[in-house]
């Protein structure tokens, strides 16, 4: 049994065929998926998915790339985070990849938004789903300033260096690997994945994006997360079942979701 720790089933590429996607997940033994929110405007749809389907859970947050959307206040995040089946704050973080002619100094609004999300994680006790791209120094520094030792979470769709992974692990964070792990040119990332302790690894699709090989370039879906598990298993010299079980248990613990396989009853 597999879990997808990060997908966007509310996005138009996937939302219209949710029934098919759930069927495909069942066939692929993908038992659970976390639906990630990227704007406050989108939240009702993300939350409805989790309320309507027992295998889905939801987050609340505003992606760092999203401009011209409602800027969330701490109170707005906390209020939504209290709803049933909302298990994390995010995705949030920093993304300096598309500066579009601006300097890093111009991105103060992103850093302020990130701080608001970290405060929401502290206020609610929920873990953070962190997105970082071309911005790892600031991401780590702000996490230290705002949440050191007090927030947990995951660096999702990890593509950073081993040094960044070590810093995230030292702060108690998990590291989530996506379909990028299966790409031919991802040798450096596979070297990082080899070193990240299994008890801190998660797997994800980030669907509809980043479909793993052999589906690269196609619309991704949570049903493809076993391909990520298979590659992680190969990299770590483990069986797919071992990686599937460990990443499922890590997911359940981090997001405080009842265990899919109950512990055996004491007689
Ligand atoms: Zn992301
Ligand atoms: Zn995402």
Cα 51 to ligand 2 centre (Å): 20
Among all bound ligands, the one having the nearest atom to the CA of 131 is 1
Please report where in the chains the tokens 């692990």 appear, as a residue: 169
Cα radius of gyration rounded to whole Å, the chain: 17
Q: For the segment 71-114, what is each residue's pLDDT rounded down to a tens digit?
A: 999 999 999 999 999 999 999 999 999 898 999 999 999 999 99
Cα 23 to ligand 1 centre (Å): 25
> 193 phi and psi, to 5 degrees?
-60, -35
Distance separating the N- and C-terminal Cα atoms of the chain: 26
Going residue by residue through the chain, which has 267 residues, state the pLDDT in tens, using 9 for 90 and above: 999 999 999 999 999 999 999 999 999 999 999 999 999 999 999 999 999 999 999 999 999 999 999 999 999 999 999 999 999 999 999 999 989 899 999 999 999 999 999 999 999 999 999 999 999 999 999 999 998 789 999 999 999 999 999 999 999 999 999 999 999 999 999 999 999 999 999 999 999 999 999 999 999 999 999 999 999 999 999 999 999 999 999 999 999 999 987 666 655
State the SS3 of 15-81.
Answer: HCCHHHHHHHHHHCCEEEEEECCCCCCCHHHHHHHHHHCCCEEEEECCCCCCCCCCCCCHHHHHHHH
Cα 256 to ligand 1 centre (Å): 21
Identify whether the C-beta of residue 193 lies closer than 8 Å to the C-beta of residue 172. Answer: no
Residue 212's alpha-carbon distances to 206, 209, 215, 221, in angstroms, are 10, 9, 6, 10
Q: Please, is 205 exposed, middle or buried when counting C-beta atoms within 10 Å of its C-beta (0-12, 13-18, 19+)?
A: buried
Cα 155 to ligand 1 centre (Å): 9
Residue from 89, 64, 201 nearest 150 by CA: 89
Cα 157 to ligand 1 centre (Å): 6
Torsion of CA 117, 123, 127, 130, to 10 degrees: 10
CB burial string 208-233: b at 16+ within 10 A, e below: bbbbbbebeeeebbbbbbbbbbbbbb
- Report residues near ion ligand 2: CB below 5 Å: 36, 206
């Amino acid at each position: 049994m597999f879990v997808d720790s990060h997908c966007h089933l509310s996005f138009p590429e996937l939302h219209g065929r949710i029934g098919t996607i759930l069927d495909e997940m069942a066939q692929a033994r993908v038992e659970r998926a976390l639906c990630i929110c990227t704007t406050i405007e989108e939240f009702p749809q993300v939350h409805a998915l989790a309320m309507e389907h027992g295998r889905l859970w939801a987050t609340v947050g505003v992606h760092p790339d999203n401009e011209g959307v409602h800027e969330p206040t701490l109170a707005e995040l906390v209020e939504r985070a209290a709803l049933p089946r909302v298990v994390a704050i995010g995705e949030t973080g920093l993304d300096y990849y598309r500066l579009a002619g601006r300097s890093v100094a111009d991105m103060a609004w992103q850093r302020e938004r990130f701080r608001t999300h970290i405060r929401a994680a502290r206020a609610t006790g929920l873990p953070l789903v962190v997105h970082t791209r071309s911005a790892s120094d600031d991401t780590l520094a702000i996490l230290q300033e705002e949440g050191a030792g007090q927030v947990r979470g995951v660096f999702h769709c990890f593509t950073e260096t081993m040094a960044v992974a070590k810093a995230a692990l030292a702060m108690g964070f998990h590291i989530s690997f996506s379909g990028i792990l299966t790409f031919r040119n991802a040798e450096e990332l596979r070297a990082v994945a080899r070193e990240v302790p299994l008890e801190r690894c998660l797997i994800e699709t980030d669907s509809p994006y980043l479909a793993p090989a052999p589906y690269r370039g196609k619309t991704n879906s949570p049903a493809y997360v076993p391909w990520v598990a298979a590659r992680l298993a190969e990299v770590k010299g483990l069986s797919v079942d071992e990686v599937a079980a460990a990443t499922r248990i890590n997911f359940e613990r981090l997001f405080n979701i009842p265990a899919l396989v109950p512990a055996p009853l004491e007689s």
